[in-house]
Amino acid sequence: MRDPTYTYCREVLPSSTVDRAVSLSLTRAGASNLALARGNILEVYEVRLVVNKETGQDSLVPTNEYLYRSSNAEEFDLPMVQDEDRQRSTRGGFAQTERPQLHLVGRWSLHGRIMDMQPVRGSKGRQRVDRLLLSFAEAKMSVVSFDQSLQTIVTESIHYYEHESLTKKCFNDYQTCDLRTDPEGRCVAMRIYEDQFAVLPLAAPNELGVLGSTKLYSDSFVVDMRGADVDVRNIRDFVFLSG
């Protein structure tokens, strides 16, 4: 008997294509993280400088010739390091070098394809911890953060705009759900149903505590660009301007 769980959709192989990529400090204060979206999979990496010791021909660090092998080679799973080695000290033929490497923090399978994602910057300074804003079809977005005690992501809020009053104005079935963040960190906008924008006001970065005790956002609202006061149609892209 077939499992009814997979009647609608069954994922045979995970996506291998990177759709979106952003850099932020998600896992801890001052961390250099890279977030990748692969279909419905979210991956978070941390960039670390690894100190390696090498002397003579007995090197613990793969040579550049090895790192830049063609994609047909069998050893393709090594980090692709393009920066030159940074020599720290050399004593009697013994050298220490630093190489940046990507360390996988976590991989999560989400309930829906990630359409777009943007970082939500925290308070300024070395103690800054960012959050990640994700958008999903048909018109949903969620704010997630990283819980260090559980070593996993947690959902702080979910916002959906799949209302009949909004969908009846749309004549295109494909939704992009593009996200844009204000440079000053005051709000986030998501384009929904062609020429409408869902705006999520954010708290100022300097108002957020180090532990994130202050509420991140306030009530969202929708702006219809086809209204009588604006009347802008067929929007292809948008961006916030500084000021």
- Residue 101 · residue 52 · CB < 8 Å: no
Per-residue pLDDT, 236:
87
Q: Give the whole-angstrom CA distance, residue 34 versus residue 47.
A: 7
- Residue 225 · residue 200 · CB < 8 Å: no
Sign of the torsion formed by the C-alpha atoms of 140, 146, 147 and 151: positive
The SS3 of residue 83 is: coil
Per-residue pLDDT, 4:
56
CA-angle at 242, arms to 203 and 201, nearest 5°? 25
The DSSP result for 179-203, as a single string, is EEE-TTSSEEEEEETTTEEEEEEB-
Q: Give the whole-angstrom CA distance, residue 94 versus residue 53.
A: 7
Please report which helix (H) or strand (E) contains residue 172, including its range: none
The DSSP result for 206-233, as a single string, is GGS-TT--S--B---EEEETTSTTT---
Per-residue pLDDT, 165:
80
User: For the segment 111-167, what is each residue's pLDDT rounded down to a tens digit?
Assistant: 889 999 999 988 766 667 899 999 998 889 999 999 999 999 999 999 999 888 887
Q: What is the DSSP letter of 127?
A: T
CA-angle at 223, arms to 140 and 181, nearest 5°? 60
Q: Give the whole-angstrom CA distance, residue 192 versus residue 215.
A: 25
Per-residue pLDDT, 80:
45
- Residue 116 · residue 135 · CB < 8 Å: yes
Residue 13 token pair = 């192989």
- DSSP β-ladder status, 58-59 and 41-55: antiparallel
Q: Give the whole-angstrom CA distance, residue 136 versus residue 39.
A: 11
- pLDDT tens string for the chain (243 positions)? 455 555 566 777 888 899 999 999 999 988 999 999 999 999 999 998 887 765 444 444 444 443 433 444 343 344 444 444 444 444 444 456 778 899 999 999 998 899 999 999 887 666 678 999 999 988 899 999 999 999 999 999 999 998 888 877 666 666 778 999 998 888 999 998 888 899 999 886 666 554 444 577 888 999 988 886 788 888 888 999 887
Asked whether the bond before 54 is cis by omega within 30 degrees of 0, the reply is: no
pTM of the entire structure? 0.73
Cβ within 8 Å of residue 115, ≥6 positions away? 135, 136, 137, 175, 176, 177, 178
Q: Give the whole-angstrom CA distance, residue 241 versus residue 243.
A: 6
Q: What is the DSSP letter of 62?
A: P
Per-residue pLDDT, 229:
79
- Residue 176 · residue 238 · CB < 8 Å: no
Sign of the torsion formed by the C-alpha atoms of 226, 231, 233 and 235: negative
Per-residue pLDDT, 208:
53
